[in-house]
Amino acid sequence: MAFNIAILISGNGSNMLEIIKAYKDGQINSKVIAVISNNPIAKGIKKAKTQGIITKIINHNEFDNLKDFEESLSDYLEKKKINLVCLAGFMKVLSRDFTIKWNKKILNIHPSLLPSFKGLNTHKRAIEKNVKYTGCTVHFVDESIDSGEIIDQEIVKILKSDTDISLKKKVLMKEHKLYIRVIKKLEKKIG
């Protein structure tokens, strides 16, 4: 199976870039059709453009409510015949209706070993809790935050010398590999 992928971002877009590269190198069979950002000044937009990928801004602030924003998002995904949505640093929480409509078609990457450390500031919290291992998780997105079915994870050992900044770097490197691995896995599973 080869998916038509849309990557949703709000910021930096390093995971996005890895997925685009994997598509261009032929590491994955799926195609990156578009990058969508809800943030008009996300750094990732320029990076996607440089890679020759179609970009689309759907700024949630320009809609009266979440429902209208999501309708516009759904319309665009349908128009582009997207069948796999990869959230990569997308900072908008999606509604129950939207996640039901796109059930098992939205992936998210989260910088912790879920179900531990849902939400924000995961690295700082992991260090404060004195856990020995952290990592990252790719999961299907459902109506609850960082709670959908886990597809795969990568582990990172936390050293005494680690800070949230050093840990973020280490985890991000693992995230980049993990996202590609998961897409490959889904291509096989569904194909």
In this chain, which residue has its C-beta nearest to ligand GRF? 89
Helices 14-25 & 43-50 angle (0-180, nearest 10):
10
Is there binding between residue 135 and ligand GRF (CB under 6 A)?
no
Minimum distance of ligand GRF from residue 11's CB (angstroms)? 5
Minimum distance of ligand GRF from residue 118's CB (angstroms)? 11
What three-state secondary structure class fits 26? coil
| Burial class of 25 by CB neighbour count within 10 A (0 to 12, 13 to 18, 19+) | exposed
**Inter-residue contact 4 to 33 (CB < 8 Å):** yes
Interacting positions 41-80 with ligand GRF (CB under 6 A): none
**Inter-residue contact 73 to 134 (CB < 8 Å):** no
The Cα-based distances of 92 to 11, 23, 99, 129, 147 in angstroms read 11, 25, 13, 27, 15
Binding mask 77-106 for ligand GRF (x = CB under 6 A): -----------xx-----------------
Minimum distance of ligand GRF from residue 191's CB (angstroms)? 26
**Inter-residue contact 56 to 85 (CB < 8 Å):** no
Q: Which is nearer to ligand GRF, 33 or 167 (CB)?
A: 167
Please say if 110 is a catalytic residue.
Answer: yes
11 is written with which tokens? 């910021």
Among 5, 36, 38, 111, binds ligand GRF (CB under 6 A): 111
Binding mask 4-43 for ligand GRF (x = CB under 6 A): -------xxxxxx---------------------------
Interacting residue ranges for ligand GRF, rule: CB under 6 A: 11-16, 88-89, 109-111, 136, 172, 175
Q: Which sequence positions are flagged as catalytic? A: 110
